[in-house]
Copies of this chain bind each other. A is one copy, B any other.
Amino acid sequence: MPAIEDSAARTALPSGLRERKKRRTRDTLIRSALELFALKGYERTTVDEIAEAAEVSQRTFFRYFANKEEVALAMQTSVDALFLATLRSRPAAEAPLPALRGAVLATWEGASEVIESVVPLELHMRTYRMIESTPQLLAARLRKLSEVEEGLTREIARREGLDLDADPRPHVLVAAFGGVMRVTARIWGERGEGGLEDLRLLTVAYLDQLGPALAGNWRA
């Protein structure tokens, strides 16, 4: 294993025994980690414990994940990749904001399958909230999101045939869109209950407020 693969590459079909084994080890590490996190909290779980639960050495853990945060964010990272792929497959005629909006909703439709192949959905949702409420994880998550936004921006610019250095609109649109996505995730997390469907409704409602919120006079 020359370098840590990102989870996008994981989508490729396993060719030989070696690949299948690696994938199994990785999935086991994720499952063990998320279960332990749910059981005793992120900070109180040590990497040694995760490695032991997955029956590998601590050293091997760090060959699969650059750090402890990575394994906590692993499923989110998969969903992020799916989101980007979904956006790319959107009809070219669609305007930027509807394309983004449509892509999130479509992603959430299909994400459950990807997730369930590794961990129970229930555990993933629990992890989702844990990330929002654990400072260190939230920080790492926000940084990853800013990378995702960079990808989105490039894709929007490509779709519209724009030069990112000359036209600020792709950057601005994605920034606003990303901001709303983050707020809804946070608010949904704070609520402490409610499933994926609630998150979906909240997101749609908030996205629809982007226009009104920017309007000058709120009292009109």
Contacts and interface: CB of A to CB of B under 8 A. Distances in A.
A91 interface: no
Contact of A139 (B140, B183, B206): B140
A114 interface: no
Nearest to A217: B95
Interface residues of A, number: 43
Nearest to A207: B172
A211 B52 CA distance: 53
A8 to B, nearest CB: 19
Contacts of A174: 179, 183
A38 interface: no
Contacts of A111: none
A202 to B, nearest CB: 9
Interface of A: 95-98, 135, 138-140, 142-143, 146, 149, 160, 162, 168-180, 182-183, 186-187, 205-206, 209-214, 216-219
18 contacts: A95-B217, A95-B218, A97-B214, A135-B143, A139-B139, A139-B140, A139-B142, A142-B143, A160-B218, A168-B205, A168-B206, A169-B209, A170-B213, A171-B206, A172-B180, A172-B210, A173-B213, A211-B214
